[in-house]
Amino acid sequence: MNVLAVNNRILQMITARAPHRERFRPARRTGMSGSVKRARQLDFRESNRRKHVREVGLIAMWLGFAGVADAAEPAPVCADERISLEGELDAKWRAPIENLCARFGTMSDVDPSARIRLVAAGSELALEVTLGDGRVAHRTLRSPDDLITVLEALTLQIPGPPPENRPPPPPVVNAPVPPEPATSSLPKGAVTRPPAVEGTSRRSHYLGVEIGLAVEGRLSGSPAYLSLGGSAYAALRPDDWFFGVVARWQPSEVPASSSQPGFEMESAGAGFAVAHRLLKTGLLGLDAGATTMVLVDTQSLESRSPDEIGASTAVRFGILARALVGRGSWKFAPSLDADIAPARLGHNARLDNALPPLPTWSIALAIGATWAGE
């Protein structure tokens, strides 16, 4: 608009000065009359004025078109759809943005999912980069020289190793998979063993402790003796084995057939037991094993003074079978055992000829309870 105003002003000055210049032009001395001369002068002045008007109009029109064309120069447009421009850009950003639009498609290590948004902010430029994973970065640039550098840093994609250089995947091993733990219905305090791992030849080790008491009825012979006594034991249970210390006491053993007046016999001893778990279910366990024991038999007769006649010690070897019934730490424990004294086989061992022989073998049924823990 300033160029058009200047052009109009120039046109006004030229048209105003053209008649003024003709006014002082001297008349030629000719034979023409004054009126004819005057008419020719007017025609010449009008023709000259129109000529100046046309020249000035053409100049003004050319300048006006040049100004409008310069004012309407379009902003740069990127052919790459990943780059968008917004706002009236400052002139200093035109060349760097055109360079970016031309180079962006061929730039190496650039995330192909990146989207670029350039927003004019006066003499500065607002840069927004959005990556394919949703991350967004914002930067404000003041110098055109920083445009390419900052954009490369924000859109850099770190390349992975080529397929031929990647390490091979580890071989798949059919490793044993432990079974899923089931909801236990055992009461609180119950002792359970850890489950075995499927596909392995050995289970994890387990060590338990047992303590038990029992009341037993025993038959000994020969001759036959009947007695009622008690027993106790304490043992370790590594896995399915049983290693224990046992003790028993029969305070009174009486002959089964005929009893001699004033005769009494007592036996007590201790030893070891080894057993193995043959059967195990959720409710029942069955053990079988062997025992060895040192047993002392004492005989007395009230008609003598002192009444105690003497005692005999014998080593006994036996077998044992017992059951454990129950789900908790305390279990019902019936058992059956039998033993023999090898030193007394083949003859009747006696402490006195007036007294019955000492027993060589015995068999007992016991009813007791045991506590098991870890």
Bridging pattern class, strands 225-238 and 241-255: antiparallel
Question: Residue ranges of the chain with pLDDT lower than 70?
Answer: 1-37, 39, 44, 48-49, 51-77, 158-204, 307
Question: What single DSSP character describes residue 40?
Answer: H
DSSP secondary structure string for all residues of 50-73: HHHHHHHHHHHHHHHHHHHHHHTP
Among 115, 110, 118, 112, which residue's Cα sits nearest to residue 153?
Answer: 110
pTM (two decimals): 0.45
DSSP 343: G
Residue-level pLDDT at 20: 44
C-alpha distance across the termini of the chain, in Å: 103
- Measured distance CA(301)–CA(307) in Å, rounded: 5
For position 147, what pLDDT does the model report? 86
